[in-house]
Structure 1
């Protein structure tokens, strides 16, 4: 197509684009019904008419279950000649639609440049390795919400990027005037192990919770939108350090912090978090043992108003092939103990992730398997084959099956592992 013909089609002249956008809303709906789901979502930010029409289409019975379905973000397939730069675009798969889309180039480049430290309520939490300033990013609408910098809290005086043969590294100046050389990916991973939102951020009433490691201890940081634009340190509230913290999660205004043999609850309803109580030794010792397996990771999940603890075991001689076992317990806050769960129910499945774990009803999603756990290896770290460690664990059969045809893909960059992106409506 020539430049002139493109202009005649409205591809490069603002006037033609404006006329196209100002079409009556009743003409947009039939057009949008023919578009792929992800394009309908993107169209919401084009204009008021597009937003109204897209919202109407997405709320229809034919699109609602797709819109609410969990998504799986997949990294690019290849690396460049330098063995570091990603080639091609990242991808995103809608499980209910069973369809894979390429991310927009601008979105894929942004996620590649600013490593993802978490995803929650349909948003990604990204952070620049140079400034350690996190921000929220919606991969569909490309909306951004800036968060305060973490650098002052971590005692970092400066960060310098390497050049030439050292381009993949950077040097960190710590408080003791000592420069430490690390891989760029490690800058984020060394300080933030988990990040999530307490609510969908569009309405403005949300908070961000980080599980961090610095000053030789683990720490929980809390930022409430609309406050004084600063991070609150839980240890700064006069409570013991969170040594060996396993997982954290929110349920309503309550924050749950899981450690080895203990769990503490916090009230997030006010301007500052307030500790309620700590429960210790609430599980029998045999809960943590499996012959020929070691406990790889612990998860907290809210399911129908109940708090579930999920223990994930992998073979001691694990070679990258999924052969995993999951034990689930329900937290009984009245009896201060955990009760073993033998089945999730045919209408319930869990989606586990380092960033956010959720429970969904399979009645709403025909392609999701009931009484099952969907998991990925989204732990930040240098695991070349971490992309192979994802699948569906069946409670009934006690077996693991692939999630998709991508379950055997290698994760080529340690900070671009498969991640769940789960809308708030799930």
Structure 2
């Protein structure tokens, strides 16, 4: 009996049903293939990205390997830096990261070890205290020629004065930074002290004349003047823990003072020796390892060194224990205590009220428990160690001034 189809329904034969199933399977297969292809495509894109990153990383490594500091043997880099003008060597370290990382390791002028700065008629010379044969000539900036002279060096900066004007300028010979200070109302004050580089917001610069103390702080637009101050009698001045300390002539008393407002306090610390004996010594205050030291060098020691230098420049002269005497300040008991050794420290001194410097001999790779001393009158430099003295650099009439200066880009 034949069945008639109802309205809204349909019938298929088994053959037609098999064909539909095959088509459905082919459709599903196509969908799966397309999904797999999309996944494969994503994987290919990701792999391509990883491959490109690896290639870029490899390219960067190759470029780094071809960089100056990698392609040139390190001993050549060291030789180049050590024979380069220190001013240019220091500035070279700011050109790129690689030189900035390399220069401090091999350029001796990048260390914190002070150098001897010699100012002659037409040139500057930087001389190493570690290697007596290492020196560099520095070109004098054009604006200095014939107009200004160097009065002192402090914290890597030169204090410039003009003989015909009331302008004081500060110059960093390594970074070439220059700072013109406000004009002085009364030209003529001499340098007394600078507590820190002028770029430090806490920097205080002190000048002094016969009657007044001139004070400049970083950012000031004018000089502050303290009148009727006996600062001209300060034979040696240092800054220590936010205060200034000075030895005062003629009785070698110790005073401490602050500025703005000016408060001077005379400490009840008697001289470490009889005053008549003290007059036979060149006296310098120096801050060393958190302590205040008083260094007394007998004037006859310098006379003997000067007298013999005309025969043998590097002769060694025996000294006695009384030629150089060291004292340490005991603030609590207000007394100077004699000490026998500087330990690891090396002192760099200069008479005529220059700021003394204390450095670690181990870090500077020089001799500990020793001193370098510049004679203001002869311009000679002496090295003193274990009761002996020798001349390491001889002065001449062409040398106008000599200072200790620490390379500083700040």
CA shift in 2, pair 1:310/1:273, >3 Å? farther
CA distance in structure 2 between the partners assigned to 1:423 and 1:273 by the alignment: 33
**Which residue in 2 is equivalent to 1:221?**
214
Is there any run of 5+ residues in structure 1 with no aligned partner, and where? Answer: 1-22, 77-85, 155-187
CA distance in structure 2 between the partners assigned to 1:40 and 1:298 by the alignment: 32
CA distance in structure 2 between the partners assigned to 1:317 and 1:357 by the alignment: 17
Structure 1 residue aligned with 2:401, among 405, 413, 417? Answer: 417
The structure number with the bigger radius of gyration is 2
Please give the secondary structure, in 2, of the residue aligned with 1:36. helix
User: What displacement does 1:53 show?
Assistant: 4.3
CA distance in structure 1 between the partners assigned to 2:103 and 2:276 by the alignment: 44
Please give the secondary structure, in 2, of the residue aligned with 1:334. coil
- Alpha carbons 1:136, 1:145 under 8 Å: kept: yes
CA shift in 2, pair 1:284/1:201, >3 Å? closer
Q: Which has the higher helix share?
A: 2
Q: TM-score, normalised on structure 1?
A: 0.66
Please give the secondary structure, in 1, of the residue aligned with 2:230. coil
User: What displacement does 1:422 show?
Assistant: 2.5
Is there any run of 5+ residues in structure 2 with no aligned partner, and where? Answer: 1-62, 309-316
What does the per-residue CA deviation read over 1:351-376, in whole Å, with 9 as the maximum and x for residues that have no partner? 1123321111111122x221111110
CA distance in structure 2 between the partners assigned to 1:203 and 1:29 by the alignment: 33
Written as runs of structure 1 = structure 2, the 5 A alignment for 1:232-311 is 232-235=224-227, 241-242=230-231, 244-259=233-248, 260-267=251-258, 272-275=260-263, 277-286=265-274, 289=277, 295-311=280-296
- Alpha carbons 1:119, 1:196 under 8 Å: kept: no
**Which residue in 1 is equivalent to 2:49?**
none
CA distance in structure 1 between the partners assigned to 2:145 and 2:372 by the alignment: 23
CA distance in structure 1 between the partners assigned to 2:138 and 2:65 by the alignment: 27
Written as runs of structure 1 = structure 2, the 5 A alignment for 1:273-422 is 273-275=261-263, 277-286=265-274, 289=277, 295-315=280-300, 318=303, 320-321=306-307, 325-345=323-343, 347-353=344-350, 354-366=353-365, 368-378=366-376, 383=377, 386-388=378-380, 390-394=381-385, 396=386, 398-403=387-392, 407-413=393-399, 416-422=400-406
Instruction: Check if 1:121 corresponds to 2:155.
Output: yes
What does the per-residue CA deviation read over 1:83-137, in whole Å, with 9 as the maximum and x for residues that have no partner? xxx25x2211122354100112437x83774211111111111111111311111
**Which residue in 2 is equivalent to 1:179?**
none
User: What displacement does 1:149 show?
Assistant: 2.2
Instruction: Check if 1:55 corresponds to 2:100.
Output: yes
**Which residue in 2 is equivalent to 1:175?**
none
CA shift in 2, pair 1:47/1:289, >3 Å? closer
User: What displacement does 1:296 show?
Assistant: 4.7
- Alpha carbons 1:43, 1:51 under 8 Å: kept: no
CA shift in 2, pair 1:280/1:233, >3 Å? farther
**Which residue in 2 is equivalent to 1:199?**
196
- Alpha carbons 1:235, 1:241 under 8 Å: kept: no
CA distance in structure 1 between the partners assigned to 2:146 and 2:324 by the alignment: 32
- Alpha carbons 1:118, 1:196 under 8 Å: kept: no
CA distance in structure 1 between the partners assigned to 2:383 and 2:338 by the alignment: 20
CA distance in structure 2 between the partners assigned to 1:203 and 1:70 by the alignment: 20
**Which residue in 2 is equivalent to 1:142?**
176
CA shift in 2, pair 1:314/1:141, >3 Å? same
User: What displacement does 1:344 show?
Assistant: 1.0
CA distance in structure 2 between the partners assigned to 1:39 and 1:252 by the alignment: 36
CA distance in structure 1 between the partners assigned to 2:111 and 2:145 by the alignment: 22
What does the per-residue CA deviation read over 1:247-301, in whole Å, with 9 as the maximum and x for residues that have no partner? 1111231111211331111235xxx1442631145224437517xxx52532110
Q: TM-score, normalised on structure 2?
A: 0.68
Please give the secondary structure, in 1, of the residue aligned with 2:368. coil
Please give the secondary structure, in 2, of the residue aligned with 1:56. helix
CA distance in structure 2 between the partners assigned to 1:279 and 1:120 by the alignment: 26
